[in-house]
């Protein structure tokens, strides 16, 4: 890049660390993250950057691409990860400004974790809805390590079964969210015959979701082999564009989400999907999607975590759509 | 005074379906349907796939009256999406007919011999385990929508062209 055009960041003044991996450098000031690579530099508002970084870290680089915006992101190759700048935007590619560098996953994850910890100020929770947290801006003050290191709740069989992921309650630090105060919290009545008390299991799934403390961050509530029910509560905007490398499914459980769909390779807009309670929709394996939820809503994300799909991705045989008709 | 939030759920007799608006794509690729619409247009106890990912399925069942007994070699899960449904469970005396190598549920004829295990009363939003190798049946006093996490089997119905946006 033309070094004359590089932004000036006075790290000593703002108090944040600069992070470098390979030929990619990350800096922050009071308002922006700066991603600098041999082909250029890109700025992202720091609140948006930290919300996206939080998801990339929490989801272990996720399935496929985590696009922080149309220019910068990561692509997971399961064991190693690309950092890219511009390579999924047609105009950047056309101009020859696109840049990709590959890293071992554990190395990049360690750097991202350190950056998230250092750049997140006291009072800002990157997982929270904007109305439920403080500001990300300003000079370095404190940290929120306890919030950014939350453990994802992952059931092995089903939430609430003794020894499996626990139910949420006031006592365990999960009050009902302000937007779900009207969601019934009554648990199902279970009448087990003598000798079968440990075999019948049920819980209030919607009540459990109403107690989610985070947004755009699925947990796992029920599992059949590699079929994972991953519900989440959504409010405002998904902080990333998720670029699929396989099909995933959305089931809208309550309220409404509008998804902007883009081409996974070029960022060109492709479609808008409006989902309301009861709607079921596949995200094809070659698109990027970003959701907008005007009111906190309940979304079931349904994932297939089968290693067979990893093989199909490597072979280029993974289907882009789940069924044809 | 700030108005309280109202959470909007759907039901078999009250839903408002969204949809796909394409700029440069085929809406069929999104396999878009609404589970309440599927249940409303189904016969009682039909199990229709509304989502499929390789062999795994999400199925919708219209619960109405008393369903036949069903059984499966693997776990399944059911969520009551709108109205009350009771799940009855039975431990079969003879499990030899359950083939571990076969996926998906199968319907049992009549009243299979076995011990009553109990029942679970589901209301909207409640999820229950349908344990592997245990027979179960649904009972609903009015048409209700069930969402099932399962695996595709010979009795899973696929009607994509009928239920999806084109």
ipTM of the complex: 0.98
- Tell me which residue of A271, A245, A248, A252 sits closest to A260, measured CA to CA: A271
**Is B58 a member of any domain?**
yes
Alpha-carbon distance B115 to nearest alpha carbon in chain A (angstroms): 9
Give the structural domain span for B102. 27-163
**Is B15 a member of any domain?**
no
- Tell me which residue of A253, A270, A221 sits closest to B34, measured CA to CA: A253
Domains and CATH numbers, chain A: 3-148 (2.30.31), 178-213+215-315 (2.60.120.10)
Q: Do B20 and A321 touch (CB under 8 A)?
A: no
Q: Do A189 and B120 touch (CB under 8 A)?
A: yes
Q: How many independent structural domains does chain B possess?
A: 1
pLDDT of residue B82: 98
pLDDT of residue A1: 61
Whether pLDDT at B25 is above 70: yes
**Is B13 a member of any domain?**
no
Mean pLDDT rounded to a whole number for chain A:
96
pLDDT of residue A8: 81
Adjacency order of strands within the sheet including A19-21: A19-21, A24-28, A32-37, A40-45
What are the tens digits of pLDDT across the range A200-241?
Answer: 999 999 999 999 999 999 999 999 999 999 999 999 999 999
Interface test with A, best of B30, B148, B166 (most A CBs within 10 A): B30
Q: Do B74 and A200 touch (CB under 8 A)?
A: no
**Is B85 a member of any domain?**
yes
Whether pLDDT at B123 is above 70: yes
Residue whose tokens read 């932004």: A7
What are the tens digits of pLDDT across the range B74-112?
Answer: 999 999 999 999 999 999 999 998 999 999 999 999 999
What are the tens digits of pLDDT across the range A157-215?
Answer: 999 999 999 999 999 999 999 999 999 999 999 999 999 999 999 999 999 999 999 99
B58 at A interface, C-beta within 8 A: yes
B2 at A interface, C-beta within 8 A: no
Q: Which CATH number belongs to the domain containing residue B33 in this structure? A: 2.60.120.10
Residue of A nearest to B124 (CA): A206
**Is B20 a member of any domain?**
no
d(CA B15, CA A278): 7
d(CA A28, CA A139): 10
d(CA A161, CA B117): 17
**Is B98 a member of any domain?**
yes
Q: Do B32 and A273 touch (CB under 8 A)?
A: yes
What are the tens digits of pLDDT across the range A65-111?
Answer: 999 999 999 999 999 999 999 999 999 999 999 999 999 999 999 99
Whether pLDDT at A302 is above 90: yes
Q: Do B58 and A251 touch (CB under 8 A)?
A: yes
B133 at A interface, C-beta within 8 A: no
Whether pLDDT at A3 is above 70: no
- Note whether A216 and A238 are within 8 A (CB): yes
β strands within B93-134, DSSP E = 105-107, 114-122, 126-130
Kindly list the distances between the CA atom of residue B119 and the CA atoms of A201, B60, B136, in Å, as whole numbers in the listed order.
10, 21, 9
């Amino acid at each position: 890049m033309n070094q004359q055009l590089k932004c000036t960041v006075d790290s000593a003044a703002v108090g944040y660390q600069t992070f470098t991996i390979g030929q990619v450098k990350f800096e922050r000031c009071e308002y922006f993250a700066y991603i600098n690579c041999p082909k250029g530099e890109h700025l992202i508002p720091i609140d948006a950057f930290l919300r996206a970084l939080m998801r990339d870290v929490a989801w272990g680089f996720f399935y496929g691409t985590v696009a922080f915006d149309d220019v910068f992101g990561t692509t997971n190759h399961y064991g190693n990860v690309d950092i890219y700048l511009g390579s999924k935007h047609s105009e950047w590619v056309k101009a020859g400004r696109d840049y990709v560098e590959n890293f071992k996953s554990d190395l990049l994850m360690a750097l991202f974790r350190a950056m998230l910890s250092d750049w997140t100020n006291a009072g800002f929770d990157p997982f929270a809805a904007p109305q439920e947290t403080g500001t990300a801006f300003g000079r370095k003050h404190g940290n929120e390590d306890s919030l950014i290191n939350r453990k994802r709740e992952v059931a092995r069989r089903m939430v609430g079964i003794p020894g499996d992921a626990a139910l949420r309650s006031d006592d365990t630090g999960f009050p009902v969210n302000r937007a779900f105060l009207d969601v019934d919290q009554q648990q199902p009545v279970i009448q087990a015959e003598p000798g079968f008390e440990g075999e019948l299991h049920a819980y209030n799934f919607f009540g459990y979701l109403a107690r989610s403390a985070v947004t755009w961050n699925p947990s796992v509530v029920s599992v059949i082999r590699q079929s994972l029910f991953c519900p989440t509560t959504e409010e405002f905007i998904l902080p990333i564009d998720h670029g699929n490398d396989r099909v995933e499914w959305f089931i809208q459980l309550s309220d409404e989400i509008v998804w902007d769909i883009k081409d996974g390779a070029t960022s060109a807009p492709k479609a808008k999907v409006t989902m309301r309670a009861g709607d079921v929709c596949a995200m094809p394996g070659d698109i990027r999607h970003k959701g907008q939820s005007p009111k906190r809503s309940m979304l079931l994300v349904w994932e297939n975590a089968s290693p067979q799909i990893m093989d199909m991705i490597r072979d280029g045989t993974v289907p882009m759509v789940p069924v044809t008709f | 005074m700030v108005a309280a939030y109202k959470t909007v759920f759907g039901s078999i007799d009250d839903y408002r379906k969204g949809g796909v608006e394409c700029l440069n794509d085929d809406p069929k690729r999104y396999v878009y349907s609404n589970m309440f619409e599927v249940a409303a247009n189904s016969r009682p106890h039909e199990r229709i796939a509304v989502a499929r990912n390789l062999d795994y399925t999400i199925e919708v069942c219209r619960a109405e009256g008393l369903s036949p007994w069903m059984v499966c070699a693997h776990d399944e899960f059911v969520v009551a999406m709108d109205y009350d449904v009771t799940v009855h469970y039975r431990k079969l005396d003879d499990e030899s007919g359950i083939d571990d190598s076969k996926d998906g549920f199968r319907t049992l004829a009549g009243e299979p011999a076995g011990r009553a295990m109990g029942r679970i009363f589901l209301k909207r939003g409640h999820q229950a385990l349908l344990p592997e190798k245990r027979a179960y049946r649904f009972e609903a006093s009015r048409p209700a929508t069930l969402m099932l996490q399962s695996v595709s089997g010979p009795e899973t119905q696929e009607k994509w062209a009928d239920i999806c946006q084109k």
